[in-house]
Amino acid sequence: MLKSTVFDSFFAGHCLDAHHVFGAHFAYEGVNGVRFTVYAPNARQMFVMGSFNHWNKYEHRMTKISPQGVWSVFVPNVTEWDLYKYFIENAKGEWVEKSDPFAFYSEVRPKSSSIVTNLKNFPWEDKLWMNRRTKHLQEPMSIYEVHIGSWRKKYSFEWMSYEEMASHLIPYVKEMGYTHIELMPVNEHPFDGSWGYQATGYFSATSRYGTPKQLMQFINECHMNDIGVILDFVPVHFVKDSFGLIDFDGTPLYEYPNFEDANSQWDTLLFDLWKEEVRSFLMSSASFWMEMYHFDGIRIDAVSNIIFWHGNKQRGVNEGAVAFVRRLNYYLSQRYPSAILVAEDSSDFPKVTHPTFEMGLGFDYKWDLGWMNDTLKYYSIDPLYRSYHHHQLTFSMAYFYSERFILPLSHDEVVHGKGTIINKMWGDYDQKFAQARNLYAYMFAHPGKKLNFMGNELAHFREWDEDRELDWHLLQYQRHNSFNRLFVDLNHIYNHHSCLSRFDFDHKGFRWIDADNVNASLYSFYREDEKSIIVCIFNMTPVAHEQVHIGVPYAGKYTEIMNTEKDIYDGCNMCNYQPIEAIEELCHHLPFKIICNVAPFAAVYFEHKKN
């Protein structure tokens, strides 16, 4: 009954459970062997071969068990970790060897066999976490984006295992104050330089770093330490390697049928997101990672390439692909109501984070790539000319409430000759550090959730390279160590002051104090909730400002809780050491004002408690 139900929904394009039937599954208790099931409607003949039959191509013939093209065979005496592939006479009469599209484990590249493994009966200990998990819409969410293969390495050149990463990464993330880890894709992929974004295994955790259950244990330990884990998911395209999905049964089974639609800008093949079986394959993959691995959400890569044909607005909306992503998000939200669904979308397509019943795409969050581009461009400008670009920084709040945004400074900004974040800052060595401190204080104060790529917190000067670990030796130097300390403090201020996250997506949580001080390039705004407000001031020039008058909404004391020029951050130490009493005098259209000092390139937070 289960198989029939899954098949019906699979062919209708509404299946999230295809992995429970397709792939290699151990038989019922008391029966020794594995059932192999695969979808290949245009194959003429199919066999399964593997280490269990000495790779005899013709010993285990598969039977077509449904008119839509599902093939299956039960093979006795297959054990866990046996290797296998499908041997197919395809629609063209060619004999080809293919990995299992539903394999749960695979060989390390350059090998490509699928591996039989049992994902059941993992002893999860995260029930408390799963029961109280939320989407963090009104809570702080600071995401640490991580590439497992290059965060740290053993002996500077070997990959760490999932288990070893758990023992190093989790304490570090907790100490730094991040709330979530976002893992760059951990599905199986043949080319290290694709970072997992060009996949072969949509149900297969990469064997580079260990076994599936070791990945489960890594996530289990994250949850036991109150750290959420988000997975990068790539439903747009797949690699052309011959053992994979390409031309699977001699026809374009997963890709678009014509060349122009199928071939992508990355020299990969685009999924035919109009095809119901492909939709079920990808929806099942997304569900699989949340169900079997307890991932707390997915970040979908290259959403603009789903919305528009080849990501090109001029070619028009890909209506079938848009229908797919709405369906995906609707079903995932129904099944996993507390899971986080994130769009990496560079387009201006409307309602990306609106519910599907409003004809939105149904995501919870969208990366604010406009904020990222405008902000980094502004910080690269000579302060002498910043007055001409003043509203490059204020523009983000003009559209901010149209979607629910995450502010990303991701891996995409620190590769391929773009320079690292600190290298993008204008000026000499000292000025780069001062402005980078200012930038991150601005990021944490701005409405929206936060995402930073690994190495940003070290003030990494070297571009990220997947073959090398981060330059951890930088922490031996005072300036880099102090910069890392700033990140810790910003995360902890963000986590412990609810006004910085409580009303991220509500107008009442943010107000400009002075958005128009063009001549001084001095910006000020405040964040507010029921408990407190934090007044945020940013000096974008190398000029000190003494006795600056800043409007505030309430009487009482305002205490400096962050100053990026404090000596502990290797700054000039021009701070406001005593609480400042607000003066009842109209300033910036507000009934009170404070008078404070702002150092060159300083970012300053003042807290006022309401009760």
306 shares its domain with 164? yes
Bridge partners of 572, per DSSP, are none
Residue 2: predicted pLDDT:
52
161 shares its domain with 259? yes
Main-chain dihedrals φ then ψ at residue 111, nearest 5 degrees: -70, 160
Backbone region of residue 137 per phi and psi (left: phi > 0; alpha: psi in -120 to 50; beta: other values):
alpha
166 shares its domain with 313? yes
466 shares its domain with 589? no
227 shares its domain with 295? yes
Among residues 188, 301, 368, 457, which one is catalytic? Answer: 301
Domains in the chain, number? 3
Query: For the domain that residue 322 is a member of, what is the CATH number?
Result: 3.20.20.80
Let me know if 111 is exposed, middle or buried by CB neighbors in 10 A (0-12, 13-18, 19+): exposed
Residue carrying structure tokens 């050491």: 577
Tens of pLDDT, residues 419-450 = 999 999 999 999 999 999 999 999 999 999 99
Main-chain dihedrals φ then ψ at residue 501, nearest 5 degrees: -145, -20
Distance CA 165, CA 169 (A): 5
Which residues have a Cβ under 8 Å from the Cβ of 484 and sit 6 or more positions away? Answer: 457, 458, 459, 475
Mean pLDDT of the residues in the chain: 96
Tens of pLDDT, residues 540-581 = 999 999 999 999 999 999 999 999 999 999 999 999 999 999
1 confidence band (pLDDT: 50, 70, 90): very low
21 shares its domain with 82? yes
Tokens at 331, concatenated = 């079903």
8 inside domain: yes
Bridge partners of 84, per DSSP, are 50, 114
Q: Quick one: which of 95, 96, 100, 80 has its CA closest to 39?
A: 100
Which of 102-106, 192-196, 378-382, 482-486 has the weakest average pLDDT? 192-196
DSSP states of 287-339:
HHHHHHH---EEEES-THHHHBGGG-GGG-B-HHHHHHHHHHHHHHHHH-TT-
Active site residue 344: yes
Q: At residue 502, does pLDDT exceed 70?
A: yes
Tens of pLDDT, residues 242-286 = 999 999 999 999 999 999 999 999 999 999 999 999 999 999 999
Give the predicted TM-score (pTM) of the model: 0.95
596 inside domain: yes
346 shares its domain with 474? yes
Residue carrying structure tokens 């302060």: 383
- 544 alpha carbon, distance to own chain's centre: 38
Rg (C-alpha) for the chain, rounded Å, is 26
- 212 alpha carbon, distance to own chain's centre: 20
Query: For the domain that residue 584 is a member of, what is the CATH number?
Result: 2.60.40.1180
66 shares its domain with 157? no
- 3-class state of residue 435 by DSSP: helix
Query: For the domain that residue 56 is a member of, what is the CATH number?
Result: 2.60.40.10
DSSP states of 437-476:
HHHHHHHHHSSSEEEEETTGGGT--SPP-TTS---GGGGG
Among residues 164, 344, 368, 403, which one is catalytic? Answer: 344
- 3-class state of residue 210 by DSSP: coil
Tokens at 154, concatenated = 């053993």
Look up the domain containing 602 and give its range.
507-609
Q: In what order do the strands lie in the sheet with 545-552?
A: 545-552, 590-598, 583-587
464 shares its domain with 523? no
- Average pLDDT rounded to a whole number, residues 95-112: 97
The CA–CA distances, whole Å, from 501 to 79, 81, 497, 554 equal: 50, 46, 8, 20
Q: Quick one: which of 76, 72, 75, 81 has its CA closest to 117?
A: 81
